[in-house]
């Protein structure tokens, strides 16, 4: 089963020579970036970056520290059709602990990129987050007002504002992404211990990693803001429990609420992304977990 063909409208884009692009993928060695690399590399001329952890194998990623503004600007200005920005400081707790670093890695690089590509015809695609919202609504569409409750969400909001003020670029907001990365396994690492604490008071519509690349390729001709969410709405506890059962992982998933989970960062309680601009949704959990576990359905 191909998870990217299961949801309506999530088929891969055309692979004809006319659709082949020269793409810079920032953060290609990460969990989400690695998933994007897997889909895009066979279809486009792709240059990827890593910060400290080069990906194994023939990927040929180039090293880039986002704080090296001269190097970042020179790379972005090298004649790309599209720059996909999937790098930065992602863990919410890390951003909360060091707001200055979060701004330096999540906001300032967008300013550098905009300066580097202005007038060149290169388009920027920023992967943003559902954490730009406060989690008080049943679901969020593109035009809903943003009200971030943590440092990470505030840096993503600031980065979005830079692109929106410039015009002509694209922001894709995504939720929690789950699955197995080709190099970094950030999500499954959460289930690596003997017990896995998962919250019952956090609700999301998570996206299966292999569906993200095909979806972006269907969306990157747009400008402004678009959302891409998963089909199913679940608690974090339900998601982690179902992944544990599907993969038969040797961990016990323990239900907890915020005051029991030992969290150091405020998290929006309900983040369900839906779009008014396109019909795409990630695959349902049953289909995605069957694919993840190697079962045929």
Tell me the C-alpha distance between 45 and 94, whole Å: 33
**Token pair listed for 20:** 């082949």
Tokens standing for 199?
A: 């919250």
> What single DSSP character describes residue 186?
H
Q: Of 152, 178, 208, 228, which residue is the catalytic one?
A: 152
DSSP 237: H
152 a catalytic residue: yes
Q: What angle do helix axes 285-293 and 236-247 make, rounded to 10 degrees?
A: 30
d(CA 266, CA 203): 14
Is the CB of residue 184 less than 8 Å from the CB of residue 34?
A: yes
**Measured between alpha carbons, how far is 205 from 292 in angstroms, rounded to an integer?**
17
Q: d(Cα 181, Cα 28) in Å, to the nearest integer? A: 11
Backbone dihedral region for residue 69 (phi beyond 0: left; psi -120 to 50: alpha; all else: beta): alpha
CA neighbor of 162 nearest in space, from 124, 111, 220: 111
DSSP state of 130: G
Residue among 182, 163, 178, 173 at smallest CA distance from 227: 173
Tell me the pairing of strands 203-204 and 234-235.
antiparallel
Instruction: Give the separation between CA 63 and CA 6, rounded to whole angstroms.
Output: 36
| Residues forming the active site | 152
């Amino acid at each position: 089963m191909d998870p990217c063909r299961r949801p309506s409208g999530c088929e891969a884009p055309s692979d004809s020579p006319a659709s082949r692009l020269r793409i810079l993928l920032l953060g290609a060695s990460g969990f989400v970036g690695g998933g994007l690399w897997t889909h895009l590399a066979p279809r486009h001329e792709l240059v990827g970056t890593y910060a400290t952890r080069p990906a194994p194998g023939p990927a040929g990623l180039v090293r880039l520290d986002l704080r090296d503004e001269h190097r970042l600007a020179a790379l972005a200005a090298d004649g790309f059709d599209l720059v996909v920005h999937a790098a930065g400081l992602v863990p919410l707790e890390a951003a909360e602990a060091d707001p200055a670093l979060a701004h330096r890695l999540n906001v300032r690089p967008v300013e550098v990129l905009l300066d580097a590509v202005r007038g060149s015809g290169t388009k920027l695609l920023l992967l943003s987050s559902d954490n730009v919202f406060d989690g008080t609504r049943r679901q969020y569409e593109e035009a809903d007002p943003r009200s971030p409750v943590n440092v990470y969400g505030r840096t993503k909001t600031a980065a979005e504002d830079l692109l929106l003020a410039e015009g002509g670029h694209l922001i894709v907001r995504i939720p929690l992404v789950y699955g197995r990365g080709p190099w970094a396994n950030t999500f499954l690492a959460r289930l690596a211990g003997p017990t896995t604490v998962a919250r019952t008071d956090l609700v999301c519509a998570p996206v299966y990693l292999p569906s993200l690349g095909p979806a972006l390729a269907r969306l990157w001709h747009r400008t402004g803001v678009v959302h891409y969410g998963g089909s199913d709405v679940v608690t974090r506890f339900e998601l982690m429990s179902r992944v544990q059962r599907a993969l038969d992982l040797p961990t016990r998933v323990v239900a907890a609420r915020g005051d029991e989970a030992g969290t150091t960062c405020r998290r929006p309680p309900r983040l369900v992304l839906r779009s008014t601009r396109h019909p795409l949704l990630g695959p349902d959990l049953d289909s995605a977990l069957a694919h993840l576990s190697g079962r045929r359905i």
